[in-house]
Structure 1
Amino acid sequence: MPRTRTALLGVLALLAALLSVQITGSAPRATAAPATFTHPGVLVSRGQLDHARSKVQAGQQPWKAAYDAMMASSYASLTRAARPRPVVECGSSSNPNNGCTDERQDAIAAYTQALAWYFTRDSRYARKSIEIMDAWSATITDHTNSNAPLQTGWAGSTWPRAAEIIKYTYDGGWPGASRFATMLRDVYLPEVINGASTKNGNWELIMTEAALGISVFIEDRAAYDKAVRTYLARVPAYVYLNADGDLPEPPAGSSIDTSAEIIKYWQGQSTFTDGLAQETCRDFGHTGWGIASLANIAETSRIQGQDLYPRIQDRLRHALGFHTAYENGAAVPSWLCGGSVDKGLGRVTEVAFNALHHRLGIAMSHTQRYTETHRPSGTDNYFNAWATLTHADNPD
C-alpha cells in the first residue's frame, strides 16, 4: 500500500558525498571504471554469447525461436544498405524525421549483423556490420533539433554493442575501427555525457546508457565514471521506494525540489508506493524504456567488474513487479494515475529479470509471467534488440 513520510530531500547530498566517482581536476582518483576494460563488454559478454550460441546450436527454447526471429528480420539481411547522413535532425516525436529512423535502425542492423556473425561464424555478417558502421563514421557530424540528445542516446547505446563484438571477436580485421571510435567520441559522447536532469527520466537513462557503452569501447575512464555517477543519482529519482519518504527524490542537478514541482514532474501523481516510476502516469511505454536502460547499464557495469545491481536491485525489482502486475491484468486502483494507466510496457524485461531472478534468486512472479509470455523479445526499432536471445536464463 502507498506510504507517506517526511521527504528526505537531503539524500542526494549524502549520495554525492558517498560516491567516489570524480571526473576532473585534483579530485581523488576515480574508482568506478575498471583498471582494464573487458571486451566484448557492452550489454553482452563473450561468456553470455557463447552460452546463447550453444543453446541455439542445440535447438533449445526460447533461444532457437529468438535466433530464428532475428535472422528472419530485415536487420539481418545481407543486402541491407546503410543510409547515413551528415546531420541527423530530430524534433519532438521525431518530427521532423531527417535521418532519425535510418540512424536508429542502421545501428540495430549493425548489432544484429554482429550477433549473426558470432552465432554463425559466417564472415559475411561481420563484413555487413562493418559496412554499416563505416558508412556512418565516414558521414555523420552532428545531431540537431529538440530530440537530438535522446536520438543520440538511442543510436549511441546500440552502436557500441555492435562495435565491441566485431572488434574483439572477428579476426578478419576492421580497418575503420579507429574512425568509428572517433565518431563515438566526437559526435555522440558530447551530446549524452552531461545528462538531461529536467527531462523525463527515460531521456537521461538512455543517454547515460549510451555514454557508458561508448566509454567502454573507447576506453575513456573519466567518461565512464561520470556516467556511473549520473546513473546512481538518477535511479532513485526515477523509481520510488517507500523508504524515500513523502516524496520521491528530485532529479540531481535540477531546480525541481518543492513538493508541487516534484508532483508535477511525476505527472501529477501525489500518492507514492514501491516501484512507481516517474513516468508511470505518463505511459508504460516510456517507463519501459527507462527501466530497460536502468537494467542495461547495470548489466554493462557487471561485465566490467563493478556490479551495480546490489545498489539498485530493490528499485529495479519493485519497478518491474509494479508495472508487470498491471500488464498482467491487475485492477488499477483509484489513487493511481486517476484510476487509469496507459499500458504497453514493451518487451523490455529480459535483462533485468535474468539478473534479478536467475542470478540473484529473487522471486518475481509478475515479471516472470510477463517476460515468458512475451518471448521472443525481438526489437522495438529504437534501442532494445534480441534480449531473449542474449539474456534469457543466461547464467554468465
Structure 2
Amino acid sequence: MSRTSPHQHHQHHPTGELSRRGLLKTAGGLTAAVALGAASAVTTAVVAPTADAAPATFTHPGMLHNAGDINRAKVRVAAGTDPWLSGWNRLTANSHSQSTWAPRPTATIIRGGDGQNYPQLYNDIHAAYQNALRWHVGGTAANGDCAVRILNAWSSTLTSITGNADRFLAAGIYGWQFANVAELMRGYAGFDLNRFKTMMLNVFYPLNNQFLTGHNDACITNYWANWDLCNMASIMAIGILCDDGAKYDQAVNYFKNGGGNGQIRRAVPFLYPGVEGYDLGQWQESGRDQGHTVMGMGQMGALCEMAWNQGEDLYSYDGRRFMKAAQYVAKYNLNMNVPYTTYTWGSGQNCAQQSQTVIGSGSRGQVRPVWAMLHYHYGRRLLLDDKYIAQMCFSVAPEGGGGDYGTTSGGFDQLGFGTLMYAK
C-alpha cells in the first residue's frame, strides 16, 4: 500500500486503532505499526522522538477535501439526494457563493489595534471557497472563474499582515483557509498558483512560524489553544500546497510534541474515562467560554482532516484524545453536565499563575459549522459510537458557512458546509 493509498483501505479495529500512517508505513516496511489503546483507556501515550516523515508524494487535492469527497458531493447533489442536496441549497443561497462577488484586495491587512480592515480578507476568502465548491460540485465555470479572480487579486496585492498580537490569529486562520481554496483551484486555467504560493510563503508562513517558536515573547502557555492550532493548520496547509515536507512535518511535530497549548495533551489536559459509558476529555479553553471552545473543534478538526488526506491519522493519535474532547464539548453544549477539573496555567511574560475553577458557560450552545467533519469521521469512517458529536452534528444540519453565522469574525473561523462535503 502506498503512502497515498485511498482511504477505503483504512480498517476499523474495535479493540485498538492502528495509527493510519503507522499502518501505511508497516506495509512499506518502514517502521513497526504503533497500536493505540482501546477507546476506554485513560490515555495511551504514543510519543515518537520525531514526527513521521511527510509523504513521499503529496496527494492533491489533499487538504479539507480529497477527490472522493468532491465526487461524492457532485454525484449526490446531481441525483437530488439528501442530506447533500440540503447542504448544496445552503451553499447556493449564501451571498458569498455568487459568481458576481467582487474582491477587495489590499496590500496590508490589519487585525488588532488601529485601522483594522481584516473583514475584507475573510469575506473574500469565504467567497472564493464557496465559489470553488460550486464549481467542483455544480460544474459552473462562472463560479470557478470567480474563485480564481479572488485568489489572483490577493496574490498580486497582499504584502503584509500586521496589527497587535491578533495579527497571529489572522495569519493562522486565514492562512489555512486561503491555502485550502488554492488547493481546490490548482490547475484551473488562469490561476497563478506560483504567485499564490509565494504570497503564502512570504506573508503568512513567517508569522505562523514566528508565533509557534516565540509566542509573541510571552510565556509559552499564555495563549489559548486556538492560537497555536490555527498557526499549525496554516503551516500544514502551506506545506501541502507547496509540496514542502519540512513545513508539513513542523505542524505534525507540534501537534504531537509542541510546547504550547495546541499540542494535543495540552489542548486536552484532563481525561474522564467511562462517563455514562463514554470517554470524555476536557478542552483547554473550556473554563473560558464555549464560543472559543467550539472554535477549537473546528481548528483542530481542520488540522486532523488535512493530515488524514495525506495519510497521517492525528484524529486517533494518543488513544483518540481529540475525539474524547469533541464528545465533552458537544455534550456540554447540548446542555448536559460534564466533569470539570480546575485548570491552571502560566500567563503574561513572567508566567504568572492563573486558574479557572468552573467550566465557562458563556456562549453555551453556540452554533458553528464544525461538527459534520467530526461526526462523519468518527461515526462513519471509523464506525465508532460518537453519541454526543452525532447529536450535535444533526442538531445543526445542514451546515452553512461564512455569512450564515453572523458578520463578525467568529462566523468566519471555519469554512463550513460539512453536510455537503462530508456526509457519508
Query: Fold match, TM over 0.5?
Result: yes
1:112-149: CA deviation from partner (whole Å, max 9, x where unpaired): 11111111211111111111011111111111122111
**Aligned partners of 2:367 and 2:396 also within 8 Å:** no
Deviation at 1:174, TM superposition (A): 2.7
Which residue of structure 2 lines up, in the alignment, with residue 208 of structure 1? 232
Aligned with residue 122 of structure 2, among 99, 104, 109: 104
1:125 aligns with 2:156: no
Deviation at 1:181, TM superposition (A): 0.9
The 2-side partners of 1:81 and 1:274 are apart by 45
- The amino acid that maps onto 2:419 is T
Deviation at 1:78, TM superposition (A): 1.6
1:163 aligns with 2:163: no
Structure 2 SS opposite 1:70: helix
1:390 aligns with 2:421: yes
Which residue of structure 2 lines up, in the alignment, with residue 153 of structure 1? 172
**Aligned partners of 2:331 and 2:338 also within 8 Å:** no
Call closer, same or farther: CA 1:283–1:180 in 2, change over 3 Å. Answer: same
Which residue of structure 1 lines up, in the alignment, with residue 299 of structure 2? 293
The 1-side partners of 2:375 and 2:53 are apart by 24
- The amino acid that maps onto 2:231 is M
Deviation at 1:309, TM superposition (A): 2.4
Structure 2 SS opposite 1:366: helix
**Aligned partners of 1:203 and 1:290 also within 8 Å:** no
The 2-side partners of 1:283 and 1:81 are apart by 35
For structure 2, the residue ranges without an aligned partner over 5 or more in a row are 1-42, 258-262, 274-278, 343-356, 402-410
TM (norm. structure 1) is: 0.80
Which residue of structure 2 lines up, in the alignment, with residue 374 of structure 1? 396
Deviation at 1:363, TM superposition (A): 0.4
The 2-side partners of 1:313 and 1:160 are apart by 30
Deviation at 1:389, TM superposition (A): 1.2
- The amino acid that maps onto 1:204 is D
Call closer, same or farther: CA 1:312–1:350 in 2, change over 3 Å. Answer: farther
1:238-274: CA deviation from partner (whole Å, max 9, x where unpaired): 0134389xxxxxxxxxxxxxxxxxxxxxxxxxxxx94
Which residue of structure 1 lines up, in the alignment, with residue 350 of structure 2? none
Of 41-50 and 375-384, the range deviating more from structure 2: 375-384
Matches within 5 A, 1:169-208: 170=188, 173-194=189-210, 195=212, 196=215, 197-198=220-221, 199-208=223-232
Which residue of structure 2 lines up, in the alignment, with residue 237 of structure 1? 266
Deviation at 1:159, TM superposition (A): 1.1
**Aligned partners of 1:375 and 1:388 also within 8 Å:** yes
Which residue of structure 2 lines up, in the alignment, with residue 310 of structure 1? 316
- The amino acid that maps onto 1:164 is E
**Aligned partners of 1:104 and 1:154 also within 8 Å:** no
Call closer, same or farther: CA 1:339–1:221 in 2, change over 3 Å. Answer: closer
The 2-side partners of 1:165 and 1:334 are apart by 40
Deviation at 1:306, TM superposition (A): 2.3
1:14-47: CA deviation from partner (whole Å, max 9, x where unpaired): 94xx2323xxxxxxxxx43111111111111011
Alignment RMSD (CA, Å): 2.3
The 1-side partners of 2:341 and 2:193 are apart by 53
Deviation at 1:221, TM superposition (A): 1.0
Structure 2 SS opposite 1:275: strand
1:347-390: CA deviation from partner (whole Å, max 9, x where unpaired): 31111211111111110111111110101121232333212211
Which residue of structure 1 lines up, in the alignment, with residue 108 of structure 2? 87
1:76-106: CA deviation from partner (whole Å, max 9, x where unpaired): 1122111111111111xxx546321110121
**Aligned partners of 2:288 and 2:360 also within 8 Å:** no
Aligned with residue 324 of structure 1, among 309, 317, 330: 330
Percentage of matched positions with identical amino acids: 27
Call closer, same or farther: CA 1:232–1:335 in 2, change over 3 Å. Answer: closer
- The amino acid that maps onto 2:264 is V
The 2-side partners of 1:240 and 1:60 are apart by 41
1:193-235: CA deviation from partner (whole Å, max 9, x where unpaired): 3424431001111111111111101111111111111122311
The 2-side partners of 1:36 and 1:332 are apart by 43
Deviation at 1:346, TM superposition (A): 2.4
Structure 2 SS opposite 1:41: coil
1:365 aligns with 2:393: no
Call closer, same or farther: CA 1:163–1:313 in 2, change over 3 Å. Answer: farther
Aligned with residue 48 of structure 1, among 51, 55, 69: 69
Which residue of structure 2 lines up, in the alignment, with residue 134 of structure 1? 152
For structure 1, the residue ranges without an aligned partner over 5 or more in a row are 1-7, 22-30, 245-272
1:310-342: CA deviation from partner (whole Å, max 9, x where unpaired): 215622221121121122221467878536622
Call closer, same or farther: CA 1:368–1:298 in 2, change over 3 Å. Answer: same
Which residue of structure 2 lines up, in the alignment, with residue 269 of structure 1? none
The 1-side partners of 2:318 and 2:151 are apart by 33
**Aligned partners of 2:290 and 2:333 also within 8 Å:** no
Structure 2 SS opposite 1:242: strand
Call closer, same or farther: CA 1:333–1:176 in 2, change over 3 Å. Answer: closer
